[in-house]
Structure 1
Amino acid sequence: METFATRGYHNASLAEIAERAGLTQAGVLHHFRSKAGLLTGVLDLRDQSDIGTLGEERPRGLAFLRHLVETAARNAEREGIVRLYAVLSAESVTEGHPAQDYFRTRYEGLRGLLVEALTEAGELGEIDEGIDPVAAASAVIAVMDGLQVQWLLAPEAVDMAAVTELAITALLGRPLPEAD
C-alpha cells in the first residue's frame, strides 16, 4: 500500500514491494499473479476497511451524508490510505492504467449511493425538492476528493471533516443530523 501510495503504480517495483513485505518477488506473485492483481488487492483492502464501518445497513437519507463526514474524519488518521487513493485515482485516468475500471466503477457506485441517499432525504422531507441529487452527489464527491489532495499537501491547514460538512450543508441549505 505504502509503495503504491508514494510511487504510483508505474513507478512502484515488485522488488521494493516484496522487500517491504518480507517476501521474494515470486512470493508476491504467488499470492497476486501480477502487479496489477496486487494493485487490485490493495484497493479492495482499502474498500473493505471503509465498508466495515457501515455496519449491517447503510444509513438512510442525510444520515448517509453524516457518515461521509465521519469517513473524512477517519481519513485524517489514515494518511497512507488517503495518499494511495489520491495518487491512484488521478493516475488511473491515463491510458491503459490497470485501476481505471476499478475507479470508474467506484465513482459510479459512490454516486449511486449518494443519489439514493439524497433521494431518500427528499422523500423524508430532509432537503428541498429542488436539489438535483445527481449533481449534488457529484459535487460532494468532488469536494471530498479535492480536500484529500489539499490535506496531503498541508495537513495542518485543512480539516477534511469540517470542510466536508460545511460544503454539504451549504449545498443542501441545512445542517446535517448529529452523529449517533
Structure 2
Amino acid sequence: MTVQSTSPRAGGYARGRATREEILDAAMRLFGDVGYHTTSLRDVAARVGISHPGLLHHFPTKAALLEAVLQRRDEVDGTAFDDDVATSGDFLEALARLADRNAARPGIVELYATLSAEATSPEHPAHDYFRARYVRVLAQTTAAFEALQSEGRLRPGLDAATAARLSVAGMDGLQVQWLMAADAPDGRVDMAAAIRALHASLLTDLTGV
C-alpha cells in the first residue's frame, strides 16, 4: 500500500504560487488605475496584504513585475485568440471576439491603454515590449489580409499592409474610446460591432449588393 502525503515543501510552493498570482492581479489593477510610474512596489504589497520584502521575494524589481504582468496578459489572450481562429477559421472574426472579451475586462483594457501610451518613451521599461508586440501583431494581421487579397476579397486599391495598420489602429483606438465613455449617457461603444464594421469596409462585397 502506498501512503500519499503532502510535504511542507509542496504546501509552501502552492502558497507561493497563490501569492504570486495575487501580486500579479493587484499590479494589473494598479498599473491600469494610476499608471506604471505612479505605482510603487509598496503600493502593490499593501494591496495584497504582504510586506515589501515579501513582494521582493517574488519580484525583485518593478520592471520584473511589469514584465510578468504583460507576459500573463499575452498568455491568456494568445490562447483564447488561437482557439477562436481555430474554431472560426477567420482571423478578423477572432479579432472581433477579442474585442468582445475585452469589454468584459475593463481593468485589462485600461492597463493596456495606459501602458502603451506611457511606453512611447524609449526610457519606459515596457518600450521594447510594445515595439516588438506591434511588429508581431502587424505582421500577423498583414498576413491575414494578404490571404484575403489572394482570394480577391480585399478592396481594390488597398494593400494588405495598410489594411493591417487600419485594423490595429481601430482596435487600439476603440479601446480608448470605450474607456472614455464609461459614464456616457448613450453607453459605451460596442467594440466588437465597430471592428466588424471596419473590417467589412476594407473588404470587397462579394454579395453583389
Once the two structures are TM-superposed, the CA of residue 118 in structure 1 deviates from its matched residue by 0.9
Secondary structure class of the residue paired with 1:10? coil
Tell me the amino acid that sits aligned with residue 64 of structure 2: G
Pairing of 1:98-177 with structure 2 (within 5 A): 98-128=125-155, 130-155=157-182, 156-174=187-205
TM-score, normalised by the number of residues in structure 1: 0.88
1:21 to 35, 48, 52: 48
Unpaired runs of 5+ in structure 1? Answer: 176-180
Cα distance in structure 2, aligned partners of 1:102 and 1:19:
27
Q: Bigger CA drift: 139-148 or 26-35? A: 26-35
Tell me the amino acid that sits aligned with residue 63 of structure 1: D
Unpaired runs of 5+ in structure 2? Answer: 1-27
Cα distance in structure 2, aligned partners of 1:173 and 1:40:
40
Once the two structures are TM-superposed, the CA of residue 167 in structure 1 deviates from its matched residue by 1.1
Q: Is residue 96–residue 195 contact of structure 2 (8 Å, CA) maintained in 1?
A: yes
Deviations 1:93-142 (A, max 9, x none): 12400000000001100000001111112223433464311111111111
Deviations 1:20-64 (A, max 9, x none): 223222222222221011011111111111111134695599810
1:174 and 1:20, CA in 2 relative to 1: closer, same or farther beyond 3 A? farther
CA RMSD of aligned residues (A): 2.2
Higher Rg:
2
Tell me the amino acid that sits aligned with residue 193 of structure 2: A
Cα distance in structure 2, aligned partners of 1:62 and 1:136:
19
* 1:78 aligned partner: 105
* 1:47 aligned partner: 74
1:62 and 1:140, CA in 2 relative to 1: closer, same or farther beyond 3 A? farther
Cα distance in structure 2, aligned partners of 1:157 and 1:56:
27
Cα distance in structure 2, aligned partners of 1:6 and 1:138:
28
Q: Does 1:30 align with 2:30?
A: no
Cα distance in structure 1, aligned partners of 2:117 and 2:180:
15
Cα distance in structure 2, aligned partners of 1:28 and 1:167:
44
Deviations 1:149-179 (A, max 9, x none): 110111423111111111111122448xxxx
Question: Which of the pair has the greater relative contact order for Cα pairs under 8 Å at 6+ separation?
Answer: 1
Percent of residue pairs identical: 43
